[in-house]
């Protein structure tokens, strides 16, 4: 049975495998902090329907408390270990919606339903709840193991043991950009994401984490960093990983893979 991927924008995807709906880093805001949504409509109510939500790290565009408050009561939430201590509002949001929060570390597996498991893997990214506090929680990626094996990288830089830690996968959801004109350390741009793809060698890949949010008042600053990363990743992937089928999705678009 194939897996179905819906990209809602930024790092927010629905992964449907074996009758289980998993949602990654839900972000349903039109605007927050200094960022506004410049492409794609705010996801509809159906986007918040999930059996399990995977939160990769504590940055506000990945662990967005108002978006978590849109989840249905009883939804299971996987977060990095230390998240509840680092983000006191998480307990409030979970209590408000009756969410079941499970903290995980790299290498830990969680059974979601018979035949579907989620394994946390490490990422190379600052996992703090900026701008406050010490480093209390790691940044994570996740591998959903059902009828297919789907890797959601979260936010990460390229690192030597990535393929070894992730293991064989069928589909890779890889970040290829960001929400501003410059990427700091701990990120993949289109070129580094294509290098990661060559190492991981999945059957298919979907670029994410680009072309959605941009700082207010900076539309004219390096606009190619907003518009181009998805297509640029596809172009570079043809050179470095020609056997991988890359699907560049529009906001709200669904694809069946592999």
How confident is the model over 211-224, as a mean pLDDT?
91
Among 23, 17, 158, 157, residue whose Cα is nearest residue 79? 23
Question: Is 197 strand, coil or helix?
Answer: helix
H helical segments located in 61-103: 65-68, 83-86, 88-97
pTM of the model: 0.96
Residue 28 · residue 67 · CB < 8 Å = yes
CA pseudo-torsion sign 8, 35, 105, 65: negative
Q: Is the pLDDT of residue 131 over 90?
A: no
- Which residue is listed with tokens 């984490």? 209
Q: Which residues on adjacent β-strands are paired with residue 111?
A: 117
Q: Is the pLDDT of residue 136 over 80?
A: no
Six-digit token string for 220: 């004219």
d(CA 187, CA 176): 8
State the chain's mean pLDDT as an integer.
94
Q: Which residues on adjacent β-strands are paired with residue 217?
A: none
DSSP code at position 56: -
d(CA 190, CA 230): 7
How confident is the model over 232-238, as a mean pLDDT?
98
How confident is the model over 169-181, as a mean pLDDT?
96
How confident is the model over 220-239, as a mean pLDDT?
94
Give tens-digit pLDDT for 28-64.
Answer: 999 998 999 999 999 999 999 999 999 999 999 999 9
Among 241, 215, 237, 238, residue whose Cα is nearest residue 226? 215
For position 132, what pLDDT does the model report? 59
Give the pairing type, strands 149-152 and 140-145.
antiparallel
Residue 177 · residue 210 · CB < 8 Å = yes
DSSP code at position 229: H
Percent of the chain's residues with pLDDT above 70: 97
d(CA 176, CA 173): 10
Q: Is the pLDDT of residue 10 over 80?
A: yes
Give tens-digit pLDDT for 179-211.
Answer: 998 888 899 999 999 999 999 999 999 999 999
**First CA to last CA across the chain, in angstroms?**
9
For position 133, what pLDDT does the model report? 61
How confident is the model over 240-245, as a mean pLDDT?
98
Sheet of 31-32, strands arranged across: 31-32, 35-37, 213-215
């Amino acid at each position: 049975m194939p897996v179905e991927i819906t990209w809602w924008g930024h790092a927010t995807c629905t992964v449907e495998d074996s009758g289980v709906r998993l949602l990654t880093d839900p972000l349903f805001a039109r605007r927050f902090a200094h960022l506004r949504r410049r492409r794609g409509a705010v996801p509809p109510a159906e986007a918040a329907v999930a059996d399990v939500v995977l939160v990769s790290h504590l940055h506000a565009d990945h662990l967005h408390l108002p978006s978590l408050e849109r989840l249905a009561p009883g939804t299971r939430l996987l977060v990095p270990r230390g998240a509840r201590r680092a983000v006191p509002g998480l307990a409030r949001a979970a209590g408000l919606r009756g969410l079941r929060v499970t903290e995980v570390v790299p290498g830990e597996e969680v059974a979601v339903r018979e035949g579907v498991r989620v394994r946390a893997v490490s990422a190379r990214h600052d996992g703090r709840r900026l701008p406050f506090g010490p480093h209390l929680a790691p940044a994570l990626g996740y591998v959903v193991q059902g009828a297919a094996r789907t890797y959601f990288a979260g936010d990460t830089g390229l690192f030597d043991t990535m393929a070894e830690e992730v293991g064989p996968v069928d589909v890779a959801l890889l970040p290829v950009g960001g929400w501003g004109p410059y990427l700091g350390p701990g990120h993949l741009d289109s070129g580094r994401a294509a290098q990661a793809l060559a190492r991981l060698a999945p059957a298919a890949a979907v670029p994410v984490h680009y072309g959605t949010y941009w700082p207010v008042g900076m539309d004219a600053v390096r606009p190619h960093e907003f518009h181009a990363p998805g297509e640029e990743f596809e172009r570079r992937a043809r050179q470095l990983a020609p056997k991988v089928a890359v699907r560049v999705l529009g906001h709200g678009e669904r694809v069946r893979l592999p």
